[in-house]
Amino acid sequence: MKTNPRKDNISINRGLKTTLVGIIASALLAAIKIFTGIVGNSYALIADGIESLTDIFTSSIVLTGLYFASKPADENHPYGHGKAEPFAGVAVSLGIFVAAIIIIVQSLYEIITPHHAPASFTLIVLVLVIVIKESLFRFVIKVGTSVNSIAVKSDAWHHRSDAITSAAAFIGISIALIGGEGYESADDFAALFASVIIIINAYRIFKPALFELLDTAPPTQVVQKVRGVAGKVENVMGIDKCFVRKMGFDYFVDIHVLVDANLPVFKGHEIAHKVKDELMKEYSNISDVLVHIEPFFIRT
């Protein structure tokens, strides 16, 4: 049976464009935050800038993953290159985790090292960063959800992590400025707290990406819908087994349908085609359906 023509080219292009926007924004914000942090004596802001630099790296990984995932099936990859997409998600989550560890180590160093309080103008920069990064998160997560891409959604959560670190830095710097002498390390504690949030987000990205790489079954409702559509096809007397797995932007279905054991072979073959056609017509993100015919013996 021929596979369904790829319907995800538009989705991939949207994912690529969205990720590219994120890379450009992260590069600009990283430069602004690190420069302002150095001039304004705020390690929380410098740490935030470092986190933005990791955004560029991990977003580049997402771009690479989407590029390879968009390649058509070939002799060595008969199911396509869709696994590159969740693999990119795993790489992104690991990059976020490493960035968080770096921030923790440096934050602890700054806490035990005496230094001056941050400059007040750093707060203005942080407000700007929070607004931009939260807006990017909402934009990218919307695209990632619409195209059902783990890599794009993981990239969105990286923007949310950046917004969180900026918000924590804002609070820490505000405490340091309001508290005065003795509160200089408040922004360092803020960076430490933000790193914990970043690690949580890294795990949140890592888990579904790893599950997809391991061909973990999709949510139960997805399988139930596939069973429901197949079960309504004429002459299908029941559904035995049904397996669904996600490969990049697409789903692949293996299904065993029960038909009258007395039907001729060509009739069973015809029913199998109808099951496949109905599933692919109902769900555009199903790339291929393998139908196995099981005999059903009718008692007389």
What's the pLDDT at 117? 67
**Sequence-ordered list of residues with C-beta below 8 angstroms from that of 138, at least 6 positions apart, any chain:** none
Domain coordinates in residue numbering, the chain: 9-213, 220-296
Strand partners, 257: 239, 293
Count of C-beta atoms within a 10 Å radius of residue 270: 15
Count of C-beta atoms within a 10 Å radius of residue 146: 12
Tell which residue, 192, 193, 183, 36, has the closest CA to residue 114. 183
- b/e code 162-192 from CB counts within 10 Å (16+ = b): bbbbbbbbbbbbbbbbeeeeeebbbbbbbbb
**pLDDT at residue 8 greater than cutoff 60:** no
The CATH classification number of 9-213 equals 1.20.1510.10
For residue 297, which phi and psi values (nearest 5 degrees)? -90, 120
Calculate the CA 161 to chain-centre distance. Answer: 13
**259-272 residue pLDDT tens:** 988 888 889 899 99
**pLDDT at residue 256 greater than cutoff 90:** yes
- The alpha carbon torsion through 178, 180, 183, 189 (nearest 10 deg) reads 40
For residue 120, which phi and psi values (nearest 5 degrees)? -65, -30
What's the pLDDT at 125? 83
- Homologous superfamily of 220-296: Cation efflux protein, cytoplasmic domain (3.30.70.1350)
Percent of the chain with pLDDT over 90: 4
What's the pLDDT at 3? 42
Tokens of 57: 């790296």
CB 289 within 8 A of CB 280: yes
